[in-house]
Amino acid sequence: MLEDVGFSEVRIEDISFRVAPSVLHVPFAITGFILKKLYNAENIKEESIRNLKGSLFALLSGVQMNNFGYYIITCER
């Protein structure tokens, strides 16, 4: 489609395996955040809960490598 609208030198690079190691920390970060809040007897804001869910869903989506990936798309005009 990029070529159809006038772009050239279209390159698509799958970088999923370069991103994957950084996603592996998600369960530890979520657990640490929740434990810290519980230890300090602090409430967890609704926004924080949504962010935690988003991080977890990103991890679960990443496991589905045949349906999900991270790509760099470059081209010239």
Domain count for the chain, please give it. Answer: 1
Question: Is this structure's pTM higher than 0.75?
Answer: no
Contact 10, 73 (CB under 8 A): yes
Collapsed DSSP state (helix, strand, coil) of residue 72:
strand
Which residues have CB under 8 Å from 7's CB, separation 6+? 75, 76, 77
Q: Which domain holds residue 57?
A: 3-76
Q: Which two tokens stand for residue 48?
A: 């924080």
For residue 67, the model assigns a pLDDT of 72
pLDDT for 73: 96
The predicted structure's pLDDT at residue 43: 93
Q: What is the pLDDT of residue 65?
A: 65
Q: Are 57 and 23 in contact (CB under 8 A)?
A: no
pLDDT per residue as tens, the chain (77 positions) = 999 999 999 999 998 888 777 777 888 888 999 999 999 999 999 999 999 898 888 777 767 667 777 899 999 99
Contact in structure between 75 and 7 (CB atoms under 8 Å): yes
